[in-house]
Amino acid sequence: MDKEGRIKEAAARYYRQKAVKKALVEAARGREVAPRYFNTFGTRPDILLYDGDVESLANRGATSFHCSEERWKDPLKLKVELGRQELDSLREGWDFIIDIDCKFIEYSKLTASLLIKALQFHGVNTFGLKFSGGTGFHLCVAYEAFPKMIYGKDLRLLFPDAARAMLDYLKRIIEKELAARLQDLDSMREISQTTGKSEKELLTGTGEKFNPYSIVNLDSGLISSRHLFRMPFSLNEKTSLASIVLSASEIGKFNPQIAKPSDFIRYRPFIIAPEKEEGRELLMQALDWKGKVGAVIGREHAAMARGIGGISPSSYGAGFGLETQRGSGGIIEIKGRVGDEDFPPCIKKALEGLKGDGRKRALFILLNFFRCINMPDEEIEERLREWDKRNGRPLGEGYLRSQLNWYKKQEKKFPPPNCDHPFYKDIGIYTPECERMKNPLSYVARRLRLKGQGARGAGSSGPGARGSERREGNEEESTEREAGGRGRRIGKGAARKTSSKDI
């Protein structure tokens, strides 16, 4: 019997297991399904409704099962010729699937571990993890983890753009540590020998540093409508291994040999709906960072993303529309001691504590604000612990510690979001003063100038450098607006204010 015959025979036996059939039917609910017959796919679209459907297809030669990332009202109505509008009308939702594609299992394990760490950093603790059956892994954050409306738009209509933004954002977050950890495993020469790539091919485009994504593929371009992924517990024809579901604690010691098809498979769900919207922070920060708010959400909400459109993934700070000084091209650099009396009203209000939702967003704002005013790490820790005690429901020491540790590792300072960002209104710290300043750092800079201390744009020659200092006097006249990254001033009255309907 040839390889195809052996695999089909083993598959028919494997798919008779109750746990396997249960896992496949559960994952297929509301999704397009496509069975694969060794090296060719079956007719699309197809569905799995009952355990008997799995066994019937396996008896006819199906060796693996694949399903869509999207959830559909009626998958059987899908057609190749359907346009975006027709697909949107059929789509009920979508899950955020991360496909870690690498030919080397140890590199894949490391990447999966760092992605899990990044998800948890953003408050996502409910997710699925499975072995691909080859040399990679899949992660799943269920649709229920995200808000159904984001900036006034239905989230189900924002596929694939929102999912791509989240993946690109996570890639950027783990990139530096992934590069370092991969080089801890193997030297550049060893990585070159293992992958068959020259050392030059392993470097970034500028040839200055190791590019981890030259050997680990996390391609957001693969996230697209009707794209399929291997279903949990499906077999992989190339290896004859099962795409088994794992817990996060198992990833470090995982050995592919435990995924051999057997007469007993322990059932575990892969697509897990959390009790609350754990993915809200991840989604909002990813959209802002990627500069997708204007492009994804629509022109009517582009004002909220002023300063972030068209940014590159490397310019994280610009992703929150950080105000820059004219001609400097850098962020406002605070010089001199900043006392509580110099804090803008929105920051003071946040420090009073939050009684409802928004604690993580407030922490994000406060952390970046404190770092940009050069507050010592020890004082930041002390103040944030006291702040957390004033919250209606404290975040807790563990969460605070994880955020503080992450920020300490960052060489670059990230700014707090601009004052017209919806964060401020959403969490209830927006004040009338926010109408008259672009960023909390602007308020501090103005206060310090009035006190005779320094605040300058990065790249200027000193605290009093002309051209980097804004005019004093009428606040509205002194407000600088970015225009296409050129830093030009828009005249009085021309600066558009964000109204409540924009949020």
Higher pLDDT, 337 or 177: 177
Ranges of each domain in the chain = 3-259, 323-502
- Kindly state the greatest CA–CA separation across the chain: 87
| CA 415 and chain centroid, separation | 18
Q: What is the mean pLDDT of residues 321-337?
A: 52
pLDDT of residue 412: 77
Instruction: Give me the chain's average pLDDT, please.
Output: 81
DSSP state at residue 217:
B
Please, where are the H alpha helices in 278-431? 280-290, 292, 345-351, 359-372, 377-390, 397-408, 422-426
For 179-217, write each residue's pLDDT tens digit.
999 999 999 999 999 999 998 899 987 777 999 999 999
For 408-421, write each residue's pLDDT tens digit.
877 778 888 888 88
pLDDT band at 291 (very low <50, low <70, confident <90, very high): low
CATH topology of domain 3-259: DNA primase, PRIM domain (3.90.920)
